[in-house]
Amino acid sequence: MREIETVQKIQDYIRIHHKDDNFNTNDVCSMIGYSRRQVDRLFKKYLNKTLQEYVNAVCLTESANELLNTKKTILEVALNSHYETHEGFSRSFCKRFHIMPSVYREKKIAIPLFIQYPISHYYALLKHKEELFMGNDLSFCMITAKERERRKLIYLPSHHAQDYFSYCEEVGCEWEGLLNSIAEKFESAALIELPDKLVEIGFSKIAAGVEVPLDYDKELPKAYKVVELPECIMLYFQSEPYENEEDFCKAIESTYTAIGKYNPAIYGYKHAYDMAPSFNFGADTSTGARIAVPALPAD
C-alpha cells in the first residue's frame, strides 16, 4: 500500500501542477524524495508508463482541448504543453493521437484522450470485488426521466467482459478518452450493457459507448461500431454524494440495488432493455453514482 500511496501522491501533484510554467518532472521526484529511476519503476509497475510518458500523455490531452476550445496558435499550444518547438509538439501529438494538430483542429474527430485514472480507485475496486461489501448508507436515489429521439450509439464491444474491471482488462482504458473527445455526445462516456439484438456472435453484452445525434458521421477507429437507436425514455438513477473517494463502488452498487427495487409501472413506465443499452456513468464524490436504463410509457 505504501507504493500505491506514493504513486497516487505523484498523480495528484501532476494533476494540480502540470500547467505551471516551471513544471518539471525532476520536481516531481524531489517532492516525494525518490530518484527518477525509482519513480519510473513504480509508474511502469502500476501505470504501465514511465513518468515522462505519463506527463506527456497528460499534457498532450490538455493541448487537444486547447486546440478545439481556444484560438491559440499551434505554437502557443505547444509552449503551454512544455514543448519548445512547433515541430517537436506536432511529432509527439501525431505519435500519440495518429493525427496532426492542424488536422485535428479542422476535422474535430474522436481521439483517445488520456484519462488520469487515480491508482487508488483501481485498488479500491479490487478490494470491493474481494470483500463484496453490501452494507452501506448510500441508499437514497433520485430518478429523472429524459425523452430520447432516434439517435446513434457509438460503442466499443468486448469479447468476454462481464463488468467494468474485466472490460478494462480486455480492451484497455483509451475508450473513455476517445469517446469523451466526441463533442456531439449527449452524455459522458459510459460502460454499457447492450440489448440482445446488438450482441454479435463471439461478443459479450458489455461495451463502452456514447449516444450522438442521428446525423453524426465522423470518422472513428475501426474497432468502434455505430448503430441507430429507436426513440425511448431513459430513466436516470443518481445516488447521494459521498465523502470518501474509495466509496465509489458502494455508490454504484447501491444505485443498481435501487434500480432492482424500482417499480416503473407505478409511474407510468415499463422497462425496455430490448430497445437500448443501459449506461453506467460511474460515480463521483460531488454527484454520486449515475446509471440510466431504457423505458417506454406503460400500455
Per-residue model confidence as pLDDT tens digits over 71-116: 999 999 999 999 999 999 999 999 999 999 999 999 999 999 998 8
Same domain for 175 and 69? no
Grid cell for residue 254: 447501491
- Domain extent at residue 248: 125-297
Residue with cell 518532472: 25
The CATH number of residue 277's host domain is 3.20.80.10
- Taking the alpha carbons at both ends of the chain, their separation in whole angstroms is 54
Calculate helix-pair angle for 36-47, 2-17, nearest 10 degrees.
100
187 is a domain residue: yes
Pair 130, 275 in one domain: yes
Amino acid letter, 158: S
Tell me what the mean pLDDT of segment 182-195 comes to: 96
Q: Are 240 and 133 members of one domain? A: yes
Which of 198, 213, 217 is CA-nearest to residue 150? Answer: 213
- The residue from 107, 141, 174 where one domain ends is 107
pLDDT tens digits, residue range 254-263?
Answer: 899 899 989 9
> Same structural domain for residues 187 and 285?
yes
Do the domain assignments include residue 118? Answer: no
Looking at the structure, tell me whether residues 82 and 207 fall in a common domain.
no
> Is 117 inside any structural domain?
no
Q: Is residue 119 part of a domain?
A: no
**97 is a domain residue:** yes
236-248 residue pLDDT tens: 999 989 888 878 8
Q: Tell me the whole-structure pTM to 2 decimals.
A: 0.79
Copy the grid coordinates of residue 272.
425496455
Which of 39-48's residues contact partners 24+ apart within 8 Å by CB, and which partners? 39/10, 42/3, 42/6, 42/7, 42/10, 43/7, 43/10, 45/3, 46/3, 46/4, 46/7, 46/119, 47/7, 47/119
Of the three residues 107, 142, 159, the one that is the final residue of a domain is 107
Q: How many residues does the chain have?
A: 299
Does residue 202 form part of some domain? yes
The 3-state DSSP class for residue 222 equals coil
User: Which CATH number fits the domain that encloses residue 79?
Assistant: 1.10.10.60
What CA–CA distances, in Å, run from 213 to 154, 162, 177, 182?
Answer: 10, 28, 19, 11
Q: Say if residue 71 is in the same domain as residue 131.
A: no
Residues 92 and 161 in one domain: no
Q: How confident is the model at residue 57 (pLDDT cuts 50, 70, 90)?
A: very high
Kindly state whether residues 252 and 137 are assigned to the same domain.
Answer: yes
What total number of domains does the chain contain?
2
pLDDT category of residue 126 using cuts at 50, 70 and 90:
low
Q: Is the pLDDT of residue 139 over 70?
A: no
Of 107, 141, 161, which closes a domain?
A: 107
The verdict on 81 and 177 lying in the same domain is no
Residues 103 and 131 in one domain: no
* Structural domain includes residue 116: no
Domain contains 154: yes
Same domain, 63 and 131: no
Instruction: Determine the pLDDT at residue 2.
Output: 86
Do 62 and 148 lie in a common domain?
no
